[in-house]
A and B are shown apart, each in its own frame.
Chain A
Amino acid sequence: MSTDAFPALSLVPKSDVEMKAKDFKTDQEVRWCPGCGDYAILAAIQGFMPELGLKKENIVFVSGIGCSSRFPYYMDTYGMHSIHGRAPAIATGLATTRPDLSVWVVTGDGDALSIGGNHLIHALRRNMNLKILLFNNRIYGLTKGQYSPTSEQGKVTKSTPQGSLDYAFNPVSVALGAEATFVARTIDSDRKHMTEVLRAAAAHEGSALIEIYQNCNIFNDNAWEPLKENDVREDNLIRLQDGEPIIFGNNADKCVVRDSDGHLQVMNVADVDQADIIIFDAHAKDPGLAFGLSRLYNPRTLTNTPIGVFRDVTHREAYDRMAQQQVADVIDAQGPGDLQALLRGSDTWTVN
C-alpha cells in the first residue's frame, strides 16, 4: 500500500525499500507463556508495520511494566521498556521533541489504568501524537494473578479470596471521558479486524487509544470467550461501521436505537422502524453516541460488546504540532536567540 495513505505521518521519513514483517522481528527469544494472546498481537503488528512504509529507525515503541510491556524487545525498531505506568509520559517527551518519529505505546490494563491512569488521561486530553495499544486481559499476569482495574467485580484472585470489591473501569469510556480524539477496540484473535483498526489509528493525527482484548491463558483464561467462540460470537459483537446502521447478531436481527429518554437500547430489528436504527458516525464531534455505545455491554456476560473505531475526530490539533509551531512562530517573528544578548539583558552597568 502506498504511504500516502497516512498523511498523519507526513513528517516521518519513508523507507526506500519495501519492508516485510520479518524486518520488524528481533533476534530476541519471545518469552511470553505458550498460548498467550500477546503472540497474535505481536504477529499482527509486525505484519502491519510494513504497510506504513516508514524507515524503521523512525519508529519507536515505548512500554511500561507488565507482560505486554515486553513488547518493544521483539520489535526491530527503536524501543524502550520503561517503568510501571509511565510510558505515556516518557513517550510524550519523545513525541513532542521529535515530530519525525512514529511513536507507539504498549501497555496493559494494570499499567495504563491503575498505576498509570493519570498519564493516560492526560496524554489523551492533550491529543499527544501517540498510538497507545492497551492490552486488556482483566488480570495482573506478571505478578501472578491479582485482579486488575478492568476485572469484573467479585473476581476471586490471589489477593481477593472472597471476591474483589472494586467496580471495573471501562477503558473506552475512560478514554472518551478524557476527550480522546481516536478510540477503538479490537480482539487479539481477529487479526483482520485488528489490522483495520491499526490502519485507522495510524492514519489519525494525534493520540489514539486502542483497547485490545487479550487472553491470559494462565491467570484468566477464556476471559473474552463469548466474543471468540464461533457459535455465540456474532450474537455478542457489535461491529461498528462508520456511516452504517448499527445492526448485529448471528442473523443480523439486532440493532441499536434510542428509547424515549434518548438512551441507547438494543432491540430486535423486527420490532423497530428501520428509520429508528442509529446510523453510526465515528467522526461526530460530540462524543455522546460513542460514549453511549461504550456503556452498552454487560461486563460480566459481554453481550452487546461493540468493537471497531468508536471515535475518530480531527477538530483538535495534535499537541506536538502545536508545540513545534509555537517555537517556529516565535523564531519567525523574532529571529533565533542570541545568547550574548540574553546574558547581557537590559539593565547593566560597567566597571572600568
Chain B
Amino acid sequence: MTKQVVQVDRVVIRFAGDSGDGMQLTGDRFTSEAAWMGNDLLTLPNFPAEIRAPAGTLPGVSSFQLAFADHDITTPGDQPNVLVAMNPAALKANIADLPRGSDLIVNTDEFTKRNLEKVGYASSPLEDDSLEAYRLHPIALTSMTVEALKEFDVTKKEAERAKNMFALGLLLWLYHRPTEGTVDFLKKKFAAKPEIMKANIAAFEAGWSYGETTEEFSVQYEVKPAAMPAGTYRNITGNLALSYGLIAASEQSGLKLFLGSYPITPASDILHELSKHKRFGVMTFQAEDEIAGIGAALGASYGGSLGITTTSGPGIALKSETIGLAVSLELPLLVINVQRGGPSTGLPTKTEQSDLLQAMFGRNGESPVPIVAPQSPADCFDAALEAARIAVTYRTPVFLLSDGYLANGSEPWQIPDATELPTIDPAFATAANHTSDDGTEEFWPYLRDPQTLARPWAIPGTAGLEHRIGGLEKADGSGNISYDPDNHDHMVRLRQAKVDAVAETIPDLEVDDPDGDARILMLGWGSTYGPIGAACQIARRSGIKVAQAHLRHLNPFPGNLGEILKRYDKVVVPEINLGQLNMLLRARFLVDTYGYNQVRGLPFKSSELVDVITELDQQMQESL
C-alpha cells in the first residue's frame, strides 16, 4: 500500500516513557537518522535524577524531544507535533504540552487499571473523551512486539523490552527516515548477545512494517534536508563538543591535558569521554573528592600541563578555595561548571544558569576570574578553546559555564579543519628575567609581561629558575612574601587589571539588528541563545523591530558592551535564574536593563520570549 507523503518544514517529536523504557536511546537513534538525512536539528533530553524511580510513576517519566527541520533551527521546539507515550504516567506528565490536533501515539498495553491508578486516572483516558482534541493512535506496542518476537530465543521480558525499537521503527516510517543506520547500530550494540540483537532488529522492522500496513496512519511526513553551509557534518552533544575542545586546546598548545575530576551530574560524561583519549597523552584522574580533583589539576598546571577540572555547581562550592589559590599563584587552570538546578543538590538533571555570580564572586578576597560561556551544544568546542587560550595566555584560572541543556542536547556540527584551529603559546620561562642590585641574574616569578600583565610560567625542571609560590600575598616582582599594606593594595589592583586586560583580546560584541533601527535589544548569555534567537525571528515576522546580542565573555565583558546597551531604548536580559547577568549589567553600566527570568529547570520556550517582546513593543508604541 502506497501512502500519501506530505511535505512539512519542521517536526517536533517527544518520546516519553518510564525511565527503564529506553526513551533516551530511542531519541538518540531518531536523531542520528534525521542528522544523516541532512536536517538541521536540536534535541532536549529530560530525565529524572533517580536511576530507576518506581516503574509507572510520574517521577519515573523520562522523555527525549527533538526538533528537525529543512531550515536552520535554534531550539528543540516549544511543543511537540507528536507525542509517543509509553504508559499512563508518560501521558499524564506530557499531555499538557501537546497542542490540539497533534498526533498522540500511546502504548495501550500499559493502560491497565493498576497503572492508571498509580498516576491518579479514575478511568482510562483512552476510553473517555478527554483526548478527543488529539489525533489519538492507540497501539498495542508491547503485545505486538512480543508477538513479532515469538519465534526468537528471548524471554518474554526481553521481548517486552524491545518495544522501544518497535516504536522507533514506526516513527522512522512515519517521518520517512532511513533504517540502515539503526540496524547497524543495533548490530554493534548487541554484538556480544546475538539473540538480543536479532530480536531488537526484528522489533524495529516490525514497527516500520506496521506503519506501512496499518490503516491507523494514512499519511507519511517528509522533511527535506536543510540548506546548510557546504561541509562535512556530524551530530554532537555539548559535553562531547566540550571534551573535543579540550583535547584540541591540548594539541594546539602542546600542553599535556590533565583532568582532575569527581563524578557529578551532568558533568561526568566529560570525564568519561576524556578517559578514552589516552592516544592524545590525555591523563584523567578520578579524585577522592571535588577538592582533590581541582587540587590535582592545579598541581598538574604547576608542572606544565593543561590542568582542567570538571564539575557542576555543588562541586564548584567545594573547589572555591583552590580557585582562589590559582588566582594567587597565577597559574593556568580550566574550571568547567556544567550548571544544574540549585541551590544545594537542587535539580541534578535539569538545567539552570544560576552559577554566574558564584563564578564571579564565589571566593574570599578580591579574586577575579575570567568567565566564558558556550551558546549551543556545538559551540562548546569553540568556547573550550577560547577558555584555554585565556587561561594559558594570562596565567589564570578561567571558568567555562556550560549547563545541563547544552551538555546533553545535540545539534549538527560542521566539522572544523584542524589545521585552521588557533594555536596557543604556553611561552614557558627559560631564563632569568631580572638583574639584582649586585649584578647577579635572577628569576622573579611575579615580574609581569607589560602587555598582558601575565607572570612568567617557570615549570619544575627548569634550571636556575627555582622559586617558591604560595597563597600568601607576594611582593610585586620578586614574589617574596609581603605583608606591606601598599604592596597588597597594588597586587589586588594588578590581579584585577590583568583580568580586565583580557578584554583587549576578545572581539567586540556583535548585534543582530537586521534593519539597524530596532529599539529593543534582547541580550543573553549561554544556552538561551537558541530560544532568544528564535523569538526574535518570530517577532520580526510580525513587524516588530528587535535586536539580539549574546555574550560569550561574561568577565571581562567585551569592550563595546556599554556603548551597545546605551544604543537601545529597552534592553531585555532573559536568564534561567533570578537576574544574575542583569545585576552585573546594572551595576557596571548604570543602565535600566529589564530581566526576564524563569527557573523551572527547563530551557525557555521561544513563544514566551515572543510574548515578552510583543508586550514590550506594545508598551513602547503606546508611550510614543
Chain A residues packing against B (C-beta within 8 Å): 13, 26, 28, 55-60, 62, 65, 72-73, 75-83, 86, 89-98, 100-101, 118-119, 122, 323, 326-327, 330-331, 334-337, 339-340, 342-345, 347-352
Question: Can you list 16 residue pairs at the A/B interface with Cβ under 8 Å?
Answer: A28-B468, A62-B299, A76-B466, A82-B471, A86-B291, A86-B322, A93-B305, A95-B299, A96-B300, A98-B460, A101-B303, A331-B281, A335-B279, A336-B281, A343-B416, A351-B232
A94 B461 Cβ-Cβ under 8 A: no
A77, A82, A91, A350: the one contacting B232 at CB < 8 Å is A350
Q: How far is the CB of B477 from chain A (nearest CB, A)?
A: 15
Kindly state whether residue B296 has any CB partner on chain A within 8 Å.
yes
Chain A residue numbers with a CB within 8 Å of B295 are 82, 86, 89-90, 92-93, 119
Q: How far is the CB of A341 from chain B (nearest CB, A)?
A: 9
**Bound: A96/B251 CA distance, A:** 19
Kindly state whether residue B258 has any CB partner on chain A within 8 Å.
yes
B279 A339 Cβ-Cβ under 8 A: no
Q: How far is the CB of A28 from chain B (nearest CB, A)?
A: 7
Kindly state whether residue B400 has any CB partner on chain A within 8 Å.
no
A98 B303 Cβ-Cβ under 8 A: yes
With A57-B464, A80-B470 already in contact, the answer to whether A93 and B303 are too (CB < 8 A) is yes
Q: How far is the CB of B276 from chain A (nearest CB, A)?
A: 9
**Bound: A118/B230 CA distance, A:** 53
Chain A residue numbers with a CB within 8 Å of B277 are 337, 342
- With both beta carbons as reference points, the residue of chain A lying nearest to B233 in the complex is identified as A349
**Bound: A98/B278 CA distance, A:** 16
Chain B residue numbers with a CB within 8 Å of A83 are 321-322, 324-325, 471
A119 B292 Cβ-Cβ under 8 A: yes
B248, B325, B461: the one contacting A82 at CB < 8 Å is B325
- With both beta carbons as reference points, the residue of chain B lying nearest to A77 in the complex is identified as B466
Kindly state whether residue B288 has any CB partner on chain A within 8 Å.
yes
Interface of chain B: mostly helix, strand, loop or mixed: mixed
With A96-B300, A122-B288 already in contact, the answer to whether A342 and B244 are too (CB < 8 A) is yes
A98 B461 Cβ-Cβ under 8 A: yes
Chain A residue numbers with a CB within 8 Å of B229 are 351
- With both beta carbons as reference points, the residue of chain A lying nearest to B240 in the complex is identified as A345
**Bound: A122/B225 CA distance, A:** 53
Contact segment of B31-39, B147-155, B547-555: B31-39
Kindly state whether residue B234 has any CB partner on chain A within 8 Å.
yes
**Bound: A225/B10 CA distance, A:** 83
- With both beta carbons as reference points, the residue of chain B lying nearest to A336 in the complex is identified as B279
Kindly state whether residue B462 has any CB partner on chain A within 8 Å.
yes
A-B pairs, top 3 by smallest CB distance, nearest first, are A81-B470, A93-B299, A89-B295
Chain B residue numbers with a CB within 8 Å of A340 are 417-419
Q: How far is the CB of B222 from chain A (nearest CB, A)?
A: 17
B466 A78 Cβ-Cβ under 8 A: yes
Q: How far is the CB of A332 from chain B (nearest CB, A)?
A: 10
B283 A96 Cβ-Cβ under 8 A: yes
Chain B residue numbers with a CB within 8 Å of A347 are 32, 35-36, 181, 234-235
A-B contact count (CB 8 A): 203
Chain B residue numbers with a CB within 8 Å of A28 are 468, 480-481
**Bound: A89/B325 CA distance, A:** 13
Chain B residue numbers with a CB within 8 Å of A90 are 295-296, 298-299, 302
Q: How far is the CB of A39 from chain B (nearest CB, A)?
A: 18
Find residues 281-297 in chain B having any chain A CB closer than 8 Å to their own CB.
Answer: 281-283, 285, 287-289, 291-292, 295-297
Chain B residue numbers with a CB within 8 Å of A73 are 468, 470, 481
| 0/1 string, B259-283, CB within 8 A of A gives 1 | 0100000000000000001111111
**Given A94-B299, A97-B303, A345-B234, 4 other A-B contacts at CB below 8 A?**
A13-B461, A93-B301, A93-B302, A342-B247
Q: How far is the CB of A87 from chain B (nearest CB, A)?
A: 8
A75, A323, A337, A352: the one contacting B283 at CB < 8 Å is A323
Q: How far is the CB of B423 from chain A (nearest CB, A)?
A: 12
Chain A residue numbers with a CB within 8 Å of B490 are none
B469 A80 Cβ-Cβ under 8 A: yes
Q: How far is the CB of B521 from chain A (nearest CB, A)?
A: 32
Find residues 380-437 in chain B having any chain A CB closer than 8 Å to their own CB.
Answer: 415-419
B415 A92 Cβ-Cβ under 8 A: no
Chain B residue numbers with a CB within 8 Å of A348 are 232-234, 415
Q: How far is the CB of A14 from chain B (nearest CB, A)?
A: 13
Q: How far is the CB of A100 from chain B (nearest CB, A)?
A: 6
- With both beta carbons as reference points, the residue of chain B lying nearest to A79 in the complex is identified as B468
**Bound: A75/B280 CA distance, A:** 35
Chain A residue numbers with a CB within 8 Å of B281 are 327, 331, 336-337
With A81-B468, A337-B279, A342-B247 already in contact, the answer to whether A91 and B288 are too (CB < 8 A) is no
B302, B329, B464: the one contacting A94 at CB < 8 Å is B302
**Bound: A26/B443 CA distance, A:** 13
